[in-house]
Amino acid sequence: MRILTILQIITIFIFVTSCSNSEPETFKEEEISKKPEISEEIGNKKETEHKDNAKEDKEVPVDVVKNLSQTEEKPMYVINSTDWKVEPIDKDNNEKLVLLTIDDAPDKYSLEMAKTLKNNEVKAIFFVNGHFIQSAEKKAILKEIYDLGFSIGNHTMTHTNLNDLTEEEQYNEIIELNHQIEEITGEKPRFFRAPFGSNTDFSKKLVAEHGMVLMNWTYGYDWEKEFMNKDALADIMVNTPLLTNGANLLMHDREWTNDALQKIIEGLQEKSYKIVDPKKIKTL
């Protein structure tokens, strides 16, 4: 009987010991099963953070990308806001300068004019009217002119006198065209010329706020009847007494201007004028 009691005690002791040893094993198994879940969650978080950081490192603000071309050329010239002439920033620069500008682009002859300028290795600003870039064909022409290396200016959507418009209408005439030009070329216009050279206080402020240089002109003749042929126009453009150092020459997308352009370029160069690259004009 005593032996039986001793055996029972031993059996109970073994059973209790066995139970107490199995509890930690169960806990450890649960603990191990939870660790991968925590590790995976942290891993996912780090991976997401890494992707976000990589995205931040690689992404360049849109405005920076679209304005890169503005910083490619070191400014060498400024536009005089009193007489609209182009002047060298370096006062020791004694070159005779002229600036070529072409309004009402791209109507019918702008691309031909751009190619003539390109063949002569000279630059100009093409001032665009919005109603000329509403078709896919005209959008492609404007992009080609831009890709040839020419600066694109804002000449309003519909070529309406700004003094006849409300401030809201003026805003739409100018800013809507900015958006359309940027959509086509990838770059916002750096220059603005009002139709008929007629600005308002509102348009001047708006243009400045959007970083554009306001520009009128020194002289132009191709809208006058007596100069609507290539020979008369080529002659007056290079022999007028208004041709002086820094002159800002106004031309238009017209058949006779297109035909006269080669002679105008040659005439200016024969008189030792340097035709300014608009990309080297300082902007706001």
Residues 120-132 have pLDDT tens digits of 999 999 999 999 9
Structure tokens at 36: 């991968």
Q: Is 35 exposed, middle or buried (0-12, 13-18, 19+ CB in 10 A)?
A: exposed
User: Each residue of 165-190: pLDDT tens digit?
Assistant: 999 999 999 999 999 999 999 999 99
Residue 27 has pLDDT above 90, yes or no: no
Residue 56 has pLDDT above 80, yes or no: no
* pLDDT-derived band at 71, boundaries 50, 70, 90: very low
Q: What is the mean pLDDT of the chain?
A: 83
Query: What DSSP string describes 166-193?
Result: -HHHHHHHHHHHHHHHHHHHSS--SEE-
User: Each residue of 91-117: pLDDT tens digit?
Assistant: 999 999 999 999 999 999 999 999 999
DSSP 271: T
**Location of structure tokens 């080529």:** 234
For residues 170 and 157, the answer to whether their CB atoms sit within 8 Å is: no
For residues 232 and 226, the answer to whether their CB atoms sit within 8 Å is: yes
For residues 153 and 126, the answer to whether their CB atoms sit within 8 Å is: yes
Residue type, 3: I
- pLDDT of the residue at 284: 84
Residue 64 host element (H or E): helix 62-66
Residue 35 has pLDDT above 90, yes or no: no
Cα 198 from chain centroid (whole Å): 25
Residue 64 has pLDDT above 50, yes or no: no
Structure tokens at 79: 């536009």
Residue 63 has pLDDT above 70, yes or no: no
- pLDDT of the residue at 72: 58
SS3 241: coil
Residue 62 has pLDDT above 60, yes or no: no
User: Each residue of 231-271: pLDDT tens digit?
Assistant: 999 999 999 999 999 999 999 999 999 999 999 999 999 99
Query: What DSSP string describes 90-131?
Result: STT---EEEEEEEEEETSSSHHHHHHHHHHTT---EEEEPGG
- pLDDT of the residue at 248: 98
The CA dihedral of 87, 92, 97, 103, to the nearest 10 degrees, is -20
* pLDDT-derived band at 58, boundaries 50, 70, 90: very low
The fraction of the chain above a pLDDT of 70, given in percent, is 74
Q: Please report, for residues 25, 29, 36, 169, the alpha-carbon distance to residue 33 in angstroms, rounded to integers and kept in the order given.
A: 12, 6, 7, 68
CATH of 75-280, one of 3.20.20.370, 2.60.120.620, 3.40.50.1100, 3.40.50.300: 3.20.20.370
Residue 135 has pLDDT above 90, yes or no: yes
Domain ranges of the chain: 75-280
